């Protein structure tokens, strides 16, 4: 069959990392401008995807296979670096989540949840993926609690 008559699949808004194949998280220019070094920022336009797979060297990518690697970022970001704050707005890190997982009450996570609903939470601009960290914090907490009890 002649390829001139084959219909291209329609874009559904999903994009997969060209390095690892993980589903990317759509990100607008705010996080891109904040996290990517000036020398590498021109690789991407005003819109790209964040690769959230921790072991992948790609941080951001677009549909034209342009990739910004983690070493092209201004600072380490979670989950690419577990020492980086999970919460870009308030600085909560892995160690605090781990401490909550070892205690009877997740005090730090509850405090973060309250702060995340305040005007000081600017996840869309500060977080590497442009989203609230609460789902990542809760997922890590549950994983650490399960490991502790298992």
Domain match, 44 and 86 both = no
Query: Burial, 73: exposed, middle or buried (Cβ in 10 Å; 0-12, 13-18, 19+)?
Result: buried
For residues 54 and 8, which has the higher predicted lDDT (pLDDT)? 54
CATH of the domain at 70: 2.20.25.270
pLDDT at 149: 80
Banded pLDDT at 9 (limits 50, 70, 90) = low
Give the end of a domain, one of 37, 54, 74.
Answer: 74
Distance CA 101, CA 17 (A): 32
Domain boundary among 74, 89, 115: 74
Which region holds residue 117: left if phi is over 0, alpha if psi is between -120 and 50, else beta?
alpha
Helices 107-116 and 134-149: crossing angle in degrees, nearest 10, is 170
User: What does the pLDDT average to over 54-77?
Assistant: 97
Question: Are 70 and 84 within one domain?
Answer: no
Whole-model pTM: value is 0.87
Query: How many C-alpha atoms does 82 have within 13 Å on its Cβ side?
Result: 8
Confidence band of 12 (pLDDT split at 50, 70, 90): confident
pLDDT tier at 7, thresholds 50, 70, 90: low
- For 78-120, the pLDDT digits (tens) are 999 999 999 999 999 999 999 999 998 999 999 999 999 999 9
In a domain, residue 111? The reply is: yes
Q: Count the domains in the chain.
A: 2
- Domain-ending residue, one of 39, 54, 74: 74
What's residue 67's pLDDT?
A: 98
30, 96: one domain: no
144 and 80 both lie in a single domain = yes
Range of the domain at 112: 76-150
36 and 87 housed in the same domain = no
Same domain as 91, residue 49: no
Mapped to the 3 state alphabet, what secondary structure does 75-142 carry? CCCCCCCCCCCCCCCCCCCHHHHHHHHHCCCCHHHHHHHHHHCCCCCCHHHHCCCCCCCHHHHHHHHH
């Amino acid at each position: 069959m002649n390829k001139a008559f084959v219909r291209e699949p329609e874009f559904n808004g999903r994009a997969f990392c060209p390095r690892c194949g993980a589903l990317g998280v759509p990100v607008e220019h705010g996080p891109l401008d904040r996290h990517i070094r000036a020398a590498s920022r021109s690789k991407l336009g005003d819109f790209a995807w964040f690769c959230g797979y921790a072991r992948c060297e790609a941080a951001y990518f677009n549909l034209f296979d342009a990739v910004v690697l983690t070493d092209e970022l201004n600072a380490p970001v979670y989950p690419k670096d577990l020492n980086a704050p999970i919460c870009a707005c308030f600085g909560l890190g892995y160690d605090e989540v781990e401490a909550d997982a070892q205690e009877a009450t997740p005090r730090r996570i509850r405090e973060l949840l309250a702060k995340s609903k305040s005007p000081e939470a600017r996840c869309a601009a500060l977080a590497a993926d442009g989203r609230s960290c609460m789902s990542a914090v809760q997922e890590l907490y549950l994983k650490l609690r399960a490991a502790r009890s298992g």
